[in-house]
Amino acid sequence: MLNVSPTLALLAMGALLGGCTDRRAELLASLEPVLPAWDVAHLAVPLEDATADCSLDDLSLAVDELRCYQDVDYDYWCSVSYTPEACYAEISEYCTRKEQPSDACLSGYEAALDGAGVIEPEDCAASHVGLALATAIYTADDAQMEADIVTGVPSFVLAATYSGGSFGGRAARGTTDDGACHVVFKGTDSSMDVVADLESMYLEACTTEDGEPMGDCGDGFIRQYGALRDAGVLDDLRAAVEAGECPAGVYVYGHSLGGAEASLLGAELTVAPLGPTVHVYTYGEPRTFAVDAAEVYATTVDKVRWTRWGDPVVAVPYESMGFAHYGEARELYRSWSGSFFVTQEEDDFAPYGFDPYQHATSAYEEALDAVCPA
């Protein structure tokens, strides 16, 4: 039997622990510069504390995963349900790993992020209804569109649809059995919509149906919205209110270009009030109004503006062009650890990153389902 003196044993143990400590420090130093900007901004404790439950193997896996993020965008290239070993082996040397860091590591890290957010149940419900309608309005056939809506909103009854004719665009109006009226505007899916988007790089004096000033807004936005208004969407909504069909209020929704038009209707209904409370929910909306008008509507329109990290549409038209967002901004974000978070941001907030996939209604649905279960 080999006898080892206590002194030598302590020295050996100290050397081993020192080596582990050095390796841990080395891995943390490699991890810090590849952490996504959102994670860095929302870590409530130092990275060393956030990863206290992570082994050396966990940290090594995390470094490789985040280096993979640096080389190729997971979602854009490989969809939400990615398989790194199949999808990235030929793209990046860091994307061949076959393991995730341990659950304890990921849970401890996520607990250190301050983006959990709190969403009221009724707000969750309205956000899901709005997204279901904003997705279904892209379906050209009215019967199929209503069937798609009813899948997510069983009590919805379609009242009418509206076309912007040569200006493009589409809107729909309906009711639910809780006494609410709903209006939804379609986003970009045609060449005419693209023209409206491009024309909206320029500000134009915008007015209500009766000619009352609404402030400056995107030229293409007001043209397409005006065509839908002329097609009867606003007059029919007023008639429904006067007939007592909307005792629970009016809800207005839109994704992308449709979000800009929803914001225009919300603004018009504060300049020329409708009667019932009006609630606006948008998803991936571009900036719609000039700064001074946006500042006014931020205090007069009840609006929730959903954004998702990487959605490039939310950042245009640019602030430098005189545009601004209005409404309570919420950012949906998926940390590298795999979980979704939601944070409330400043009114004119636009998310970082450039990932066109994140603009899709399906991307918003995935994230909203995670942070705000139906």
pLDDT digits (tens, 9 = 90+) for 31-85: 998 888 788 888 889 999 999 999 999 998 888 878 776 655 444 444 444 454 5
| DSSP type of residue 95 | S
Q: How confident is the model at residue 10 (pLDDT cuts 50, 70, 90)?
A: very low
In this model, does residue 91 exceed pLDDT 90? no
> Which tokens sit at 266?
């919300």
State the Rg of the chain over Cα. 25
In this model, does residue 15 exceed pLDDT 80? no
In this model, does residue 325 exceed pLDDT 50? yes
Across the range 115-122, mean pLDDT stands at: 62
Distances (CA, A) of 13 to 60, 228, 362, 369: 23, 76, 53, 49
Q: How confident is the model at residue 8 (pLDDT cuts 50, 70, 90)?
A: very low
Across the range 13-37, mean pLDDT stands at: 76
In this model, does residue 365 exceed pLDDT 60? yes
Range of weakest confidence among 7-16, 191-200, 333-342: 7-16
Distance CA 199, CA 219 (A): 6
In this model, does residue 127 exceed pLDDT 60? yes
Query: What does the angle CA 40 – CA 42 – CA 46 come to, to the nearest 5 degrees?
Result: 65
Contacts of 311 (CB under 8 A, 6+ apart): 284, 351, 355, 358, 359, 363
pLDDT of residue 342: 87
Q: pTM for this one?
A: 0.85
State residue 168 phi and psi, 5-degree precision.
80, 180
Residue 129, CA atoms < 13 Å, CB-side half-sphere: 27
pLDDT of residue 271: 92
Q: What is the mean pLDDT of the chain?
A: 86
Higher-pLDDT residue of 361, 65: 361
Percent of the chain with pLDDT over 70: 84
Gap between the terminal Cα atoms of the chain: 66
Q: Kindly list the strands in the beta sheet with 213-218, ordered across the sheet, starting from the edge strand earlier in the chain.
A: 203-207, 213-218, 289-290, 323-324
DSSP-assigned states of every residue in 18-30: HHHHHHHHHHHHH
**CB contact at 8 A, 307 and 350:** yes
pLDDT of residue 242: 95
Contacts of 73 (CB under 8 A, 6+ apart): 310, 355, 357
Best CA proximity match to 262, nearest among 204, 318, 325: 325
Distance CA 194, CA 168 (A): 9
In this model, does residue 234 exceed pLDDT 80? yes
State residue 78 phi and psi, 5-degree precision.
-130, 15
> Which tokens sit at 162?
């509206």
State residue 175 phi and psi, 5-degree precision.
-135, 160
Q: Where are the beta strands (DSSP E) in the chain?
A: 157-163, 170-175, 181-185, 203-207, 213-218, 250-255, 278-283, 289-290, 302-308, 323-324, 328-334, 340-345
Tens digits of per-residue pLDDT, 162-183? 999 999 999 999 999 999 999 9
Range of weakest confidence among 86-100, 218-232, 311-325: 86-100
| Cα pseudo-dihedral 135, 138, 143, 148, rounded to 10 | -20
Give the domains, in start order, of the chain with CATH numbers.
Answer: 21-111 (no CATH), 121-371 (3.40.50.1820)
Distance CA 166, CA 285 (A): 22
pLDDT of residue 160: 96
Higher-pLDDT residue of 329, 354: 329
Tens digits of per-residue pLDDT, 242-296? 999 999 999 999 999 999 999 999 999 999 888 888 999 999 999 999 999 999 9
Distance CA 185, CA 251 (A): 12
Residue 355, CA atoms < 13 Å, CB-side half-sphere: 25
In this model, does residue 227 exceed pLDDT 90? yes
| DSSP type of residue 359 | G
Distance CA 345, CA 343 (A): 6
Distance CA 174, CA 153 (A): 11
Contacts of 150 (CB under 8 A, 6+ apart): 156
Percent of the chain with pLDDT over 90: 64
For residue 63, the Cα-to-chain-centroid distance in whole angstroms is 27
**CB contact at 8 A, 270 and 279:** no
Q: How confident is the model at residue 202 (pLDDT cuts 50, 70, 90)?
A: very high
pLDDT of residue 63: 87
Range of weakest confidence among 117-121, 146-150, 286-290, 340-344: 117-121
Q: What amino acid occupies position 353?
A: G
For residue 37, the Cα-to-chain-centroid distance in whole angstroms is 16
In this model, does residue 161 exceed pLDDT 70? yes
In this model, does residue 217 exceed pLDDT 50? yes
